[in-house]
Amino acid sequence: MQRVRAPTGLHLAYVARAEHPAHWDDVLGIATFNGTPAAAAGAAGIPIAQVSTPVLPPETHLYEVWSCGRPAESGQHQRVRFRRSEEMLFGCITLAEADFAAPAHAPSSLHAATAQAYAEICATLEAQRYPHLLRVWNYLPDINRDSQGTERYRQFNSARQCALQACGRARSGNVPAASALGATSDSPVVVYFLAGRSAPVFVENPRQVSAYHYPRQYGTHSPLFSRAALLRQPQSLTLFVSGTASIVGHRSLHIGNTARQTRETLTNIEALLSEANRVTRGAHFELDSLAYKVYVRRPEDLALIQSELAATLGSQAQVIYLQADICRQDLLVEIEATGICPLAAAA
């Protein structure tokens, strides 16, 4: 079991299927990979995001478990299944593109499905009164494939931006931390998220152009995410690090070199941690204190990426690996992370 937790407040654990929690009272939500079932959690009313991205090495089965340290309540709004505590809400939505075939009102079925997913997410947050979208995970099949003359990732960005604008949400600055990765062909669009009643601090990386300010060469609609979001709770700080890659400024670096891309990505995360520690009182995040989710484009690169991470983070680092295509075709690795720092230790 790999766990990041604070004395009270939000907890994150990566657990093997055989190690799932004995009690589900304080669990907010679960993401599964490899098509791993979670029947016991579903029977307990826990929202489950079933993500079609294989775990590496193969035949590994993991749960990503978010909990809050106190009893939580389940519910559903439209197609968003959620579970909430007094301060936090976990939600997920799964939509099949086939249900949005040949839409008259959108450029593609992916565009239509994405726009609908975000419209229902925003409606859920408004209805349940959790106004602050903190962290979003997006998984869509064939993310790099061209469809109807446009890369599918660019279609996704267009739909996300249009939907958030229609819901009256910001398109720069105060936008959530996020990741967007490929999933296996013919799988549904899956989005899961964390939202809160308290506003986070959004953090940008001084080494990178903010994603929402990318030039038009990356698409007519920029990706809408902050590099990180930092949430203060009564006894802890939680840092959500968005999907991070070998990008400096707005350009991809070290094309074709997996080892150098991995090192550059870790340098970006380290710079982001320094910025988070600078802007927030009580923050004291370090590379080796985070839990990491690493997306590997080519499975044959796994051992090399593991070696690079061990050299920087140490052999005891909390890391899971998933096989997934990444938003840019020239990127071979992407890393996201979560850190939870007890305020007593950070002060």
- Max CA pair span of the chain: 55
Out of 151, 264, 308, 334, the active site residue is 334
* Residue showing tokens 């959690």: 41
Q: What is the DSSP letter of 250?
A: T
Going by C-alpha positions, the residue among 102, 26, 6 that lies closest to residue 342 is 6
CA dihedral 283, 288, 289, 292 (to 10 degrees): 110
Q: Report whether 24 contacts 16 (CB < 8 A).
A: no
Active site residue 334: yes
Q: Report the side by side order of strands in the sheet with 55-56.
A: 55-56, 318-323, 291-296, 333-342, 236-244, 228-233, 201-203
Compute the C-alpha angle 153/276/128, nearest 5°. 60
Measured between alpha carbons, how far is 83 from 31 in angstroms, rounded to an integer? 13
> What distance in Å separates the CA atoms of residue 287 and residue 190, rounded to the nearest whole number?
29
Catalytic residues: 334
